[in-house]
Structure 1
């Protein structure tokens, strides 16, 4: 029997911007440390998403030594000092979570506004940021949509791509789904749906809910352009979730139960499974 392992670990320093694959990461209560600690907001403080601004996907952010560097093809790189506290502004996600963010250097606002063609600002989570997720295991979350981690598997992508190709489309890469952890070695697609508790490296992870997909997977993460109906069209043919309002799912959302280090290649050990044909998450909403 094949051994399930961590195939990839990805951090997204700024919500909506490109992901940064890493070989090893520290996971804390809110997920991968440094993941979605920054967010782009409009003049009213509402988060800006690839759903409406797909060009965000082609912007890159790297953080090291208390400096954030923003870059994009054809643009000068911008480096600013990270502000961990200071001027605050009201921010919101989906009109359902309202809090505050630490306003970053105005130069970042100008750079991002120029690249995206609209007025935006950059904020970071506050030192006292405390936002619970929801689901079977609630956990904590930074500026992620609603959960600490998004987990997918290579077998699920292989199964999806086989269906897309059969329908005359082109296979898509995993980055369309913007996962934090990718698992290899599970022979059956969507095995992650049935994992209630598992360990990866030093980290204990608990299932929160299915990951219901929006329009972002239709965005090419390299070019920042929408590419058409896939993979949503094909997912809709076999991954409809009536208990989640009829949305289509791919991957799971999860909480960090015990933090620690996770490294590419770490073995995945499942401690508890969800019974076949059941999903306890919808009842927790």
Structure 2
């Protein structure tokens, strides 16, 4: 029987994730202790989002959750504590930010967080938090025209990858004398096991009790999986292997790995590591 083997929450876009045993599923993705996936984001002085694509050291920013706060740690830096309680309506300062083609306002988390990030990344930075009054939606091209809310992910609330898919890729890497890569290079929210390699590509839905996820868009891949999440440095890039067998006609032939998902039914339900799931295939 297919099962969930890993649940990972990424409080800050492009920073380290937090492995969970259980998580609440909202329409906009995973939530734990009232902290939502990609609820925070690092921006430069012009409000443009930053990611590991250009700043691989962001992988070294490791969040930990406590009641009412989140502590950030990174090599050579004193811990930084960020409040996670809901911000007072209309009182928190806002700045204009840009994430891909979306221009929106976000809450500025203050000078201390900005100085901490600026020192670590070597350029002027700010930490911003998603404003729940702002509407940011996933691409309707892939959601059957449904309004699907998101915060600061690249495009969709959740990413699903099967363990079999990673095992298949690693077998190809090792056949060339190259090292296997861990799952955290691909930054999924849900890892599932008990299915064939890339079976998620052909799944219409994943059901877990009353929760029903719709798998909507293959995840196209950029150079980020070349970043070693333990060192924050670029290393060998598995992209060349993916290009040999993972070109996907649904996204103009770009290599894909994993599938983006949205909540079809059951928002508010809880998922658990070890929970059995059912995939409905759509050939």
TM-score by structure 2 length?
0.91
Matched residues in 2 for 1:245 and 1:61: separation?
Answer: 36
Q: Is 1:148–2:153 an aligned residue pair?
A: no
Contact kept, 8 Å, 2:110 with 2:126, in 1: the verdict is: no
* Aligned 1:1-285 pairs, distance under 5 A: 3-33=1-31, 34-82=36-84, 84-85=87-88, 86-94=92-100, 96-134=101-139, 135-136=142-143, 139-186=148-195, 188-229=196-237, 231-257=238-264, 258-259=266-267, 260-270=269-279, 272-275=280-283
> Shift of the alpha carbon at 1:269?
1.2
Structure 1 segments of 4 or more deviating over 4 A?
none
Deviations 1:113-135 (A, max 9, x none): 11111111001111213222121
Cα deviation for residue 176 of structure 1 reads: 0.4
Q: Deviations over 1:94-143 (max 9, x none)?
A: 1x111111000211111111111111100111121322212145522110
Residues 230-282 of structure 1: per-residue CA shift (max 9 Å, x gap): x1111111001243133210000010122210000111112x3221xxxxxxx
Q: How many residues align?
A: 269
CA displacement at 1:201 relative to structure 2 = 4.7
**Structure 1 residue 75: deviation in Å?**
1.7
Answer yes or no: is the 8 Å Cα contact 1:27–1:262 preserved in 2.
yes
Q: Which secondary structure does the structure 2 equivalent of 1:121 belong to?
A: strand
CA shift at 1:202, angstroms? 4.4
Contact (CA 8 Å) 1:129, 1:142: kept in 2 or not?
no
* Conservation of the 8 A alpha-carbon contact between 2:11 and 2:17: yes
* Change beyond 3 A, Cα 1:63–1:102: farther
Q: Deviations over 1:180-211 (max 9, x none)?
A: 0000111x210001111111354210011000
CA contact (8 A) 1:13 1:62 kept: no
- Stretches of structure 1 that go unaligned for 5 or more consecutive residues are 276-285
Distance of 1:64 and 1:130 partners within structure 2: 28
What TM-score results when the alignment is normalised by the length of structure 1? Answer: 0.91
**What is the CA-CA distance between 1:44 and the residue it aligns to?**
1.1
Rounded to whole Å, the distance in 1 between the matches of 2:131 and 2:224 is 27
Structure 2 residue ranges without an equivalent (≥5): none
1:152 and 1:146 map into 2 onto residues whose CA distance is: 16
Rounded to whole Å, the distance in 2 between the matches of 1:20 and 1:52 is 22
8 Å Cα contact 2:60-2:230 kept in structure 1: yes
SS in structure 1 at match of 2:201: helix
Give SS of 2:244's match.
coil
RMSD of aligned Cα (Å): 1.4
* Aligned mates of 1:104, 1:146 — CA distance in 2: 23
What whole-Å deviation, never above 9, does each CA across 1:4-54 have from its counterpart, x for those lacking one?
Answer: 000000000100100110000001010102110000001111110100001
